[in-house]
Amino acid sequence: MTTTPIEAVDLFSSALHIHPDGDVRATGRRMTGGDAEAWQIATFHVESDAEVHADHWEMHPEAEEAVCCLAGGVRLFLRPVEPGEPGEAESVVRLTAGTAAIVPRGRWHRLELDAPSDLMSITLRTGTRLEPRTEAG
């Protein structure tokens, strides 16, 4: 029986793709696209809002997303389900070290930093969309 050597994977420069058949691979990180049926686990060290695309909304149509704060602190903004409804404002979830939030499938969201942070994202990236944020939201 031959064995493949097991090596450490740097989670800050690679992503883990988990396939439905149980196969797990370390690959390059992608913000959009990727393996059609693979879930991506990606870890990021971020020091500015620009690194978390705070000026863009993001949406994953195929699956929920776990947004995890490993160190530091972030604010997760969720766009109203029905934009333009009177009185509908963005909702905000504050994440601190060791906490996570589950963003519903198809829900537009964005992040802003409270401090330099280590974040982890777990989602199916297929069909991920980005939309520039406007002054109105």
Averaged pLDDT, 105-111: 96
Q: Are 51 and 105 in contact (CB under 8 A)?
A: no
For the ranges 2-6, 28-32, 121-125, 128-132, the lowest mean pLDDT is seen at: 28-32
- Record the tokens describing residue 39, joined without a space: 């879930």
Q: How does pLDDT run across 35-83, given as a tens digit for each residue? A: 668 899 999 999 999 999 899 999 999 999 999 999 999 999 999 876 6
What is d(CA 63, CA 60) in angstroms, rounded to the nearest whole number?
A: 6
- Which residue type does 83 have? P
Q: What is the pTM of this model?
A: 0.87
Percent of the chain scored above 70 by pLDDT?
A: 86
Q: Are 40 and 123 in contact (CB under 8 A)?
A: yes
| DSSP assignment string, 40-101 | EEEEEEE-SGGGGTTTEEEE-SSS-EEEEEEEEEEEEEE--SSTT-TT---EEEEEETTEEE
